[in-house]
Amino acid sequence: MSTNDVDVLVVGAGFAGLYSVHRAHNEGWSVVGIDAAPEVGGTWYWNRYPGARCDVESMDYSYSFDEELQSEWRWSERYATQPEILSYIQHVADRFDLRRHYQFETRVTQARFDETASRWVVRTDTGKEYRARFLFLATGSLSAPKIPDIAGFEDFEGEVYMTSSWPATDPDVSGKRVGVIGTGSSGIQCIPILAEQAEQLTVFQRSANFSVPAFNRPVDDDEWEQALADYPERRRLSWAGGAGSPHVSHPGDPLAMNDEERRQVLEEWWQRGGVLFGKTFANQLVDRKINDFARDYAVERIRAIVQDPTVADDLVPTDHPIGTKRICTDSGYFETFNRDNVELVNLRRDPIEMITPWGIQTAQGAHKLDVLVLATGFDAMTGALTRIDIEGPRGDRIADTWGNGPLTYLGMGIPGFPNMFSLSGAGSPSVLANMVLTGEQQVNWLVDLIHYCDEHGHTEVEARLDAAKAWGDHLDEVASATLFVDANSWYMGANIEGKTRGFMPYLGGFATYGALCDEARDQGYAGFVLGS
Ligand code: N01
C-alpha cells in the first residue's frame, strides 16, 4: 500500500472541489484531489440524462475568480446544457492544470484522524492510502442517489437507467415502451425528450411539482458583448444578493396591489423563467397569502396547457406552497401530456404494487415496459458524507454525529472532526444559492483559516460544539419563519425514509451568510477550538 502525505486532500472534482485544489496549489500547499468519476465535473459528470440543463443562468453559474476565464468562455445559451457545463469545467481543469492533482476512478471509503501527527488518514477503494493535514469534503449535496425500495425491482428484465448516473452513450429508446418514476427537476427535464424518442412513455408520478418554463434561448453576439460589459455589476449584485445571482423580487407589496397590478407582476416574473418565478414577491416564501397569488397563477398556467382536465388535475401540486420544493425549470413539460404516446399514472390514486419482469403493476393496471428510468432523487446534503466511514480522534463517527440531522458550524466545521470541512453542503446556503459562488466563498474563507492556524502555530482546528449548536438553532429559527418547513422536501430530509426531519440548508441568504463567516474570522475564529 503506497502512502501520500499532503497538506490538503480534497474529495470531489465538482465546482467546489476544483476550486479547492486550485487555491490550495496556489498557496504553495501540497494537494491531492480524489473523485469516483473518471473525469472532472462532479454533478455535471454524472447527471447527463437527456435534457439536463442548469436552472441558474450560465453567466452566473460560472467561476468569478478569474477575469480572463470569465471573459474567454462564451456561453451559447441562457441556460447551459449539461454537455456545455461539463465542457466548461473541463476547460477550467485544463486552463489551471488541475487534473494532475487528481486521482480519478477512486472512491474515498474511510477517514481516521491520527492525533499523534494531526493528520487524516484517508483510505480508498483502490487500496491507496493518503495522509493529509486538512480534509475538504466537496462531495456534493446531490450526489448520493436514492434507489427506491420497490418490491420486484431486481426482477425487471428490461433496461434500467438512473438520471443520476446516465450512460455516457445515450441509450436508444426509439420504438420502446419507457416508464419514468419521479417527477422532480430531473424527471421533468428528461420526460419531454424521452416522449419524443420513445414509442410509449408512462410517467409514474407520486407528487406533482411546480414547473416554470425556462424560456431558454441562444445568446447572440450582441447580447454577449453587452453581457460582458455588464459582468462586473452582475457579479457585484450576485455577491450582495440573497441567492448568489443578480435577480431581485418586485419591490411592491402584493397585498396593496389590485388583481390586475398583481397579475402584471406575476406575468413579468413568469416570463423571466424557471426558479426566478419563485422570487416574484419578496415575502412569497414567508406569507401564505402572497404565496397563494403565485401558486394560483402557476396552476392557471398548467390548466391552460394541459388539454385533458383530469390529467391537469393530477399535474397540479396540492401538497406544498409554491417554491418550498425547488421549482422545476422545464422546456415543454406540461405540453408533453397532450401527446398521444404519453400516459400519466397518479401513484397517489393508483400506487405501484410491484415491479415485475415485464414492467410495473399498479393497483389499477399493468404497464408493460422495455425501459425503466429512475429519476428518484438523492439522499440529499448528508448522504455523500455519511456514506464515508469517518471517525474523529475521540471516536465520533459522522454517521452518528449527523444521525439526527447535520450538525455544523457555519456549514463547514463539524464538532468532533478537527481539520475537516464540508463544502457547499448542509448548514450553508449551498443548494439555495449559486453553488459556484458558494464554493468560492467557502474555499477562500477556509484558506484564510488555514493561514491563520499556520501563523499562530495551531496544528488543529475544530468546530466547538456550542458554536455548532448555536448555528443549528439559528438555522432552525430562520427556516421556521418561512413556509419551507411546510413541504415534505429533500431540503427537510423528508424524501428518505427514517431520515430525521429538519431544514438542512441555510435560509438566511448568501450575502448574509458571507458576512457572518467574515465576522467569525474577524473575531479570531472564536467558534473553533484552535490547538496543537
Ligand atoms: O430529485 P427529487 P431530482 N415511488 O427528489 C419520486 C437539483 N436538480 O433528481 O416527491 C415513486 O426532486 C419523488 O416523489 P415524492 C434540484 O435542486 C437541478 O429530480 O417523494 N416516486 C419525486 O417526484 C432538484 O430539486 C436541476 O413523492 C418516487 C422524484 O422521485 C434536485 O436536484 C436538474 C419514489 C425525485 O425528485 C433533485 O432533483 C435536476 C418511489 N419509491 C436536479 N421515490 C436543474 O438545474 C422517489 N420518487 C434544472
What's residue 200's pLDDT? 98
For 283, counting Cβ atoms within 10 Å of its Cβ (0-12 exposed, 13-18 middle, 19+ buried), the class is: middle
Task: Extract the C-alpha cell encoding 428.
Answer: 450553508
The closest of 505, 255, 466 to 382, measured between CA atoms, is: 505
Q: How high is the pLDDT of residue 532?
A: 84
H-state helical runs in 198-244: 221-240
pLDDT digits (tens, 9 = 90+) for 231-282: 999 999 999 999 999 999 999 999 999 999 999 999 999 999 999 999 999 9
Distance from residue 208's CA to the centre of ligand 1 (Å): 11
375 vs 451: CA distance, rounded Å: 43
Beta-bridge mates of residue 329: 212
Burial 483-497 (b: 16+ CB within 10 A, else e): bbbebebbbbbebbe
| Pairing mode, strands 371-374 and 177-181 | parallel
Q: Could you tell me the distance, in angstroms and rounded to a whole number, from the CA of residue 381 to the centre of ligand 1?
A: 14
* Local structure of 90: helix, strand or coil: helix
- Three-state SS for 211? strand
Contacts of 499 (CB under 8 A, 6+ apart): 379, 382, 493
Residue spans of beta strands (DSSP E) within 442-503: 460-463
Contact yes or no for 89/503 (Cβ under 8 A): no
Q: How far is the CA of 325 from the centre of ligand 1 (A)?
A: 10
Q: Which three cell numbers stand for residue 324?
A: 418550498
Question: What is the pLDDT at residue 1?
Answer: 41
Specify the residue with its C-alpha closest to ligand 1, atom 18: 185
Running DSSP on this structure, what letter comes out for residue 115? T
Beta bridge partners of 281: 250
Strands 129-137 and 460-463: unpaired
Return the axis-axis angle of helices 288-305 and 259-272, rounded to nearest 10°.
70
Enumerate the β-bridge partners of residue 213: 330
Q: Over the stretch 196-206, which tens digit does the pLDDT of each residue have?
A: 999 999 999 99
- 116-142: b or e for each residue (b if 16 or more CB lie within 10 Å)? eebbbbbbbeeebebebbbbbbbbbbb
Cβ–Cβ under 8 Å, residues 138 and 98: no
Report residue 264: phi and psi, to 5°. -60, -45
pLDDT of residue 328: 97
Task: Give pLDDT tens digits for 167-189.
Answer: 999 999 999 999 999 999 999 99
Q: What is the mean pLDDT of residues 440-459?
A: 98
Return the SS3 of 47: coil
Q: Please enumerate in sequence order all residues whose Cβ is within 8 A of that of 153, keeping only pairs 6 or more positions apart, or say none.
A: 147, 355
DSSP assignment string, 373-429: EE---B-TTTHHHHTSEEE-TTS-BHHHHTTTS---BTTTB-TT-TTEEE-SSTTSS
**pLDDT tens for each residue of 288-325:** 999 999 999 999 999 999 999 999 999 999 999 999 99
Q: Is 347 in the pocket of ligand 1 (CB under 6 A)?
A: yes
- Strand ordering across the sheet containing 177-181: 159-162, 371-374, 177-181, 200-205, 342-346
Q: Is 379 in the pocket of ligand 1 (CB under 6 A)?
A: no
Q: In the structure grid, which three cell numbers stand for residue 472, read together?
A: 443549528
Give the per-residue SS3 of 278-333.
HHCECCCCCCHHHHHHHHHHHHHHHHHHCCCHHHHHHHCCCCCCCCCCCCEEECCH
d(CA 114, CA 120): 6
Pocket flag, ligand 1, residue 489 (CB < 6 Å): no
Mean pLDDT of the 119-138 span = 98
Rounded CA-CA distance 384/378 in Å is 9
Give pLDDT tens digits for 340-362: 999 999 999 999 999 999 999 99
Is any atom of ligand 1 closer than 6 Å to the C-beta of 57?
no
Ligand 1 centroid to Cα of residue 148, in Å, is: 11
Q: How many alpha carbons lie under 13 Å from residue 481 in its C-beta half-sphere?
A: 9
pTM of the full structure? 0.97
Per-residue confidence band for 3, with pLDDT thresholds at 50, 70 and 90:
low
The SS3 of residue 443 is helix
Given the C-alpha cell 426558479, which residue does it identify?
275
Residue 483 has pLDDT above 50, yes or no: yes
Residues ≥6 apart with Cβ < 8 Å to 169:
none
pLDDT at 83: 97
Cell of 499: 431520515
On the question of pLDDT at 191 being above 90, the answer is yes
497-507 confidence digits (pLDDT tens): 999 999 999 99
- Helix, strand, coil tally for the chain in percent (to 5): 35, 20, 45
Please choose from 78, 186, 203 the residue to mutate so as to test ligand 1's pocket, defined by most ligand atoms within 8 A of CB.
186
- Using CA positions, which residue lies closest to atom 40 of ligand 1? 148
Quick check: 2 pLDDT over 60? Answer: no
